[in-house]
Amino acid sequence: MKIWEFFKGSLKLVVTGSRGYYLWMAVLTTILAIGAYAYSIQAREGLIVTAMRDEVSWGLYIANFTFLVGVAAAAVLLVIPAYVYNFKAIKDIVIIGEFLAVSAIVMCLLFVTLDLGHPERFLHLVPIPGIGILNFPASMLSWDIIVLNGYLILNLVIPVYLLYRLYMGRDPNWKWALPLILLSIPWAVSIHTVTAFLYNALPGRPFWNASIMAPRFLASAFCSGPAIIIIIFQVVRKVTKIKIDNEAIFKLGEIITVAMFLNLFLLGAEIFKEYYSGTIHLAPMQYLYQGLHGNDSLVPWIWTATVLNLTAFFLFLVPGTRKNFVTLNMACAFIFVGVWIEKGMGLIIPGFIPGVLGEFYYQYKPSIIELLVTAGVWATGLMIFTLFLKVAIPIHVGDFRLVERSGQAEQPG
């Protein structure tokens, strides 16, 4: 069977490679193993081994979840120019972005599962009589489950199908492939919009209770996602035979410029509203940016993020620095770290501190268990992404294709 030959060849590709490939996978496996051991302690002892408490019930896990949803959503910035506008420079490499989205969503689901404490608790959300109820559409969490898993399925089915047809040497059946691709565009927007709604639908948490949250999430997603994609493109074309034109990279740079402007503008509008109104709801913003009642643990972090984001914006704004790979990569790294801080701990913790009565009972700082488990999840995502590319790139460049030889497929060497 041809599909069996495809899977056998794919398996051979992922277990063979250069010394650098084996070293990279060994490093990821080691980090994953350490993270798994740390999680075994959490599973045995409970969430008490984390720094999360009743006062701060979301921490590093949900911070990474929020950030990675944006990374996953950013794949749409490759899908639109590739399939809607037929921009060839990006169309040839759009699958890389789609597989990045798959890896990011897997990490998102892992982080949510970790935050449950006992992973079997997800059964309460499974719509099976006597076991659980999804509570759709009343619960925003049910919406998030649907959009995240739907987006995961779309970004698995579409690129795998396109790669398989390319492996077979046949054109895709666009009558059903194109509608799925077009569906993935609004679906990408929905995953981050619904995630934003999870926060701003909580009136008891004034730091999150802002209608501007959803557009802010999307703007920041269209900065951090393309930033990491630009770096990945450069690594991929350096270590493989795939050709990636500078035109594709510079186009993403232009998109980041506009997205970062919107992100900074919306953030500035929110800061203005809180400080100018001067209500009691200003307290979380004060805690984040200037400290409050001697509590200022997040202040150096958020100002670091602000400096990084502003510096990156001006580097992208000037065509000379945007098209210089030294400053381009520097700006991408700044955006990735800056947005991770802003949308991660800079978003989650001020939502809980100060508390609903203005109290400062507890200051959150991630435990070593949380840090190790988080590293293990990131290693898992990077490993999944690496394995996808290990199969996709040989198919794309023509090294792994079906060749009829007595009914056998040409296997990768």
Does 411 fall in a domain? no
> Highest mean pLDDT: which of 133-137, 138-142, 370-374?
370-374
Residue 185 identity (one-letter amino acid): I
- Identify the band that residue 151 occupies on the pLDDT scale cut at 50, 70 and 90: very high
pLDDT of res. 307:
97
The Cα-based distances of 158 to 174, 244, 258, 367, 373 in angstroms read 11, 21, 28, 39, 31
Per-residue pLDDT reduced to its tens digit, 249-277: 999 999 999 999 999 999 999 999 999 99
pTM across the whole model: 0.93
Q: Is residue 30 included in any domain, yes or no?
A: yes
| Phi, psi torsion values for 14, nearest 5 degrees | -80, -15
Is residue 384 a part of any domain in this protein? yes
Quick one: DSSP state of residue 344?
T
Lowest mean pLDDT: which of 28-42, 78-92, 144-158? 78-92
pLDDT in tens, 51-81: 999 999 999 999 999 999 999 998 888 898 8
Amino acid 83 reads Y
Q: 199 lies in a domain?
A: yes
**How far is the C-alpha of 205 from the C-alpha of 202, rounded, in Å?**
6
Say if 408 falls within a structural domain. no
Closest listed residue to residue 218, CA positions, set 388, 392, 71, 49:
71
Determine the distance from the C-alpha atom of residue 308 to the mean position of all C-alpha atoms in its chain, rounded to a whole number.
Answer: 19
Q: Are 37 and 376 in contact (CB under 8 A)?
A: no
pLDDT in tens, 381-410: 999 999 999 999 999 888 898 865 444 455
Task: Specify if 142 maps to a domain.
Answer: yes
Contacting residues for 161 by C-beta, under 8 A, at least 6 apart:
172, 177
Is residue 406 assigned to a domain?
no
Mean pLDDT score, 32-48: 96
CATH code of residue 189: 1.20.1630.10
What is the number of domains present in the chain? 1
Q: Quote the domain boundaries for residue 83.
A: 2-397
Q: Is residue 409 part of a domain?
A: no
Cα separation, 14 vs 387, in Å, equals 6
